[in-house]
Amino acid sequence: MSQEKSNQPPLSDKERAKSVHQDSTKPMPPYNASEAGGPLSEIDEGPRPTPVDEIQQALFEAAQADLPTEVEFTELSLRLPDLDSGPQPGPVDEVQEAILKAAQAGQPTQVDFDTLPAPTVPDEPEAPKKVIRFNKVKAPAPKLTPGPDTEPEPILELSEPDSAPAISDFWFLLILFISFRLLTLFLLRPGGFIRDWSEFDTYFGIAALSDYALYPFLDFWLEWPPLGPWLAVGAYKLALLLPPWPDDPRLWFILILGAVFVLFEIGNFVLIYQLARRLFQSSTTVYRVLWIYAGLFPPIYAMLGFFDGVTLFFILLALYLMLEDRRFLSAVAISFGFMVKIIPILMLPVALRRLWYHYRSNNREAGIEAGLYGVVFALTVLALLAPFIIIPALNDSPQWWWSSARSIVGRSSWETVWAVAEGYYGFGQVGGDRLNSEVGMAEFAIHEGWPPGIWFVISLLFVAIYGYIFTRPADYSRPRNLVAFAGLTITVFMLYSKGYSPQFLVYLLPFILLLMPDGRGLTYALILTGLNILEQPVYFVLLPDQAWLLAFIVIARFIMWLILAVEFALILWPAEERLAVLGQARERAPLVLGSLAGLALLILTPLAILAYSNNQLDNSPVGAFAGFMEIQAENQPDKPRLLLSDQVVYRQLYPHLAGVVDLQMADGANRFEGAASVSDLIRGLDRVWVLPAGPQ
């Protein structure tokens, strides 16, 4: 039924009900299939509809029972909705509800608004009660671990967005980092007041040979690969364009070469930031890594005179490119680092292990990818080395790079447990004439060492250890695991290496901070830094005769490297759940090691001071005279008085004789008003000792 549109006013409720009643038709008698002889064609076309509501159901049942089906709409309790206009909305307030009830009861619905009661606010519906259902606790599924020969499948990691990006914070840190490094280069000297020395002096001497047309690897060999020395030559040539500073002719050379070192140090800072963002979601942790690195001393020390910061840059760059799956660029980065110092080649097995993991299901493809990676590395090294091969060949000169490679293999041990075991307590040096390309292997060593057979056995042992580490399964698609494997690789090399120099610590510090950016990592970093300071300059400059101190340093450092190796390995292969004792020991390690370091400092400080005093006494001109005066003081009831006219000698003697001799300066009256004169100093004394000049 459709509703006609017209301009007539709407009907009242009674009129509408009456109209509907008049238009209603008589009901159809119920259909009897047996009388009709079969189903109707309309019914055969589809399923028979069922009643859609209670009214239709009642009408249908009444028709089947031969009851009248006429509906008196005026007798209904509720008005019928307009069928074509959709369901009528219910009352929205008290007024509409009253009007509706009046219409249903046949009462007038006119409203006198003046007689209405004041409006009221409807009660808020009662909030639904929260129902808490407790699920049955399910037993944890057994943890599946891969077999010893099975590579674990990669764990799907969520993207690691920075929880609080705050890009400006990084720029603030970077600006402070750069300004601090530049001002340090400009105003501070390595060694402080103890001894102004760094490898800047060595590089300056090497580069100065270019004044005589002698150039590295074209006219002489060195114990480093070519890129570092040639960088020094370039800095020296630029420094020659500026007038030399009279107080120190090294000034412009150091500032130019040091500025290059600062650039690479900035690169290290940025790469550490990028690696930290790959490892941590929290910006707080990322910036903590940067703050700790910026505040540590070894990176600054390395920047003030060593190429190790440059080498570290290529290590971090290669690792970052691996994580970005830019594998061939990482091979190029390793090649450049290898041509500065050989240590970056340690990233080569790290890259190969990651490739092996990615292609673990296809050994043939893994071999091809590893081979291509090695080819890119070798070709880049060959391209960088080509000038130093071709130019000497054209000039009929020796291949100096080959002598350099032989020197790296043939040099003797230094500053390690291996050197101490061989009885050597000095720093690292390489023997042989740099202008002679025919230096024998034995000439590169500066001290007697173990027979080659012992080193062969040690080398086999470490190859076996690293081979086991290399083949153990781990998920190397995860950035944290790859960084841990790189740190473990460098640590194993440090344990094996015949030599160590204090600036080598910069190769491990980034991995300590990236993998342990907390009190644990800071404890390890500070202990290793303290051992470096004890070694250089305390041992080598202040106490060079105290071999026991170097033995303590190298053994303590070896133990620290072992602990770091375990820390990195536990990141790759967690074992705390299986070995509760190991977990407890690891948890307590920072506190125990920090306490031991503090105790060692308390013990070593007075011992070092005493050793320093005795060393100065034995190796200075005042030593014999101080001993003579101590003997004279033994037979005197009171301290004998010693008059001196040289203040420098007074300072030299005072630490050794202040307790047994009365030291007095005799020339004070001639220089300062109110100072005691000689007559005042000798009045009432039977004997006075006089040292008019130095003890010489």
- Domain shared by 589 and 634, yes or no: no
Tell me the sheet residues that pair with 641: 662, 688
- Domain shared by 173 and 90, yes or no: no
Task: For residues 240 and 246, give the distance between their C-alpha atoms in angstroms, rounded to a whole number.
Answer: 14
Q: What is the pLDDT of residues 112-150, one digit of tens each?
A: 655 555 555 555 555 555 555 545 555 555 555 554 456
Sheet containing strand 688-691, strands side by side: 662-665, 641-644, 688-691
Read off the tokens for 688. 């006075």
- Domain shared by 386 and 418, yes or no: yes
- Domain shared by 489 and 516, yes or no: yes
Written as one string, the DSSP assignment of 396-434 is T---HHHHHHHHHHHPPPBSSHHHHHTT--S-----S-T
pTM, entire model: 0.75
* pLDDT in the model for residue 616: 86
Q: How many domains does the chain have?
A: 3
In a domain, 629, yes or no: yes
List the one residue out of 178, 159, 175, 157 whose CA is nearest residue 167: 175
Contacts of 498 (CB under 8 A, 6+ apart): 411, 412, 413, 414, 416, 418, 419, 455
- Domain shared by 174 and 105, yes or no: no
- Domain shared by 280 and 301, yes or no: yes
Task: For residues 48 and 29, give the distance between their C-alpha atoms in angstroms, rounded to a whole number.
Answer: 17
In a domain, 31, yes or no: yes
Task: For residues 281 and 279, give the distance between their C-alpha atoms in angstroms, rounded to a whole number.
Answer: 7
In a domain, 101, yes or no: yes
List of the chain residues with pLDDT < 70: 1-53, 68-95, 106, 108-168, 577, 694-696
- Domain shared by 303 and 190, yes or no: yes
- Domain shared by 413 and 533, yes or no: yes
CB 319 within 8 A of CB 354: no
- Domain shared by 634 and 534, yes or no: no
- Domain shared by 636 and 560, yes or no: no
Question: Quick one: which H or E segment has residue 643?
Answer: strand 641-644
* pLDDT in the model for residue 7: 45
* pLDDT in the model for residue 61: 78
Q: Which domain holds residue 68?
A: 13-40+51-110
Residue after which a domain boundary falls, among 566, 585, 611: 611
In a domain, 616, yes or no: no
* pLDDT in the model for residue 114: 56
In a domain, 119, yes or no: no
Within 10 angstroms of residue 413's Cβ, the number of other Cβ atoms is 23
Radius of gyration of the chain, Cα coordinates, nearest whole angstrom? 46
CB 186 within 8 A of CB 300: no
Beta strands, E only, 454-529: none
Q: Which residue has the tokens 């470490």?
A: 462
In a domain, 137, yes or no: no
Residue after which a domain boundary falls, among 587, 611, 635: 611
Residue after which a domain boundary falls, among 64, 95, 110: 110
∠ CA 558-564-497, nearest 5°, is 45
Give the 3-state secondary structure percentages of the chain, helix then strand then coil, rounded to 5: 60, 0, 40
* pLDDT in the model for residue 35: 45
In a domain, 162, yes or no: no
- Domain shared by 602 and 466, yes or no: yes
- Domain shared by 599 and 632, yes or no: no
In a domain, 427, yes or no: yes
Task: For residues 401 and 208, give the distance between their C-alpha atoms in angstroms, rounded to a whole number.
Answer: 20
Contacts of 195 (CB under 8 A, 6+ apart): 537, 541
∠ CA 613-617-621, nearest 5°, is 145
* pLDDT in the model for residue 620: 81
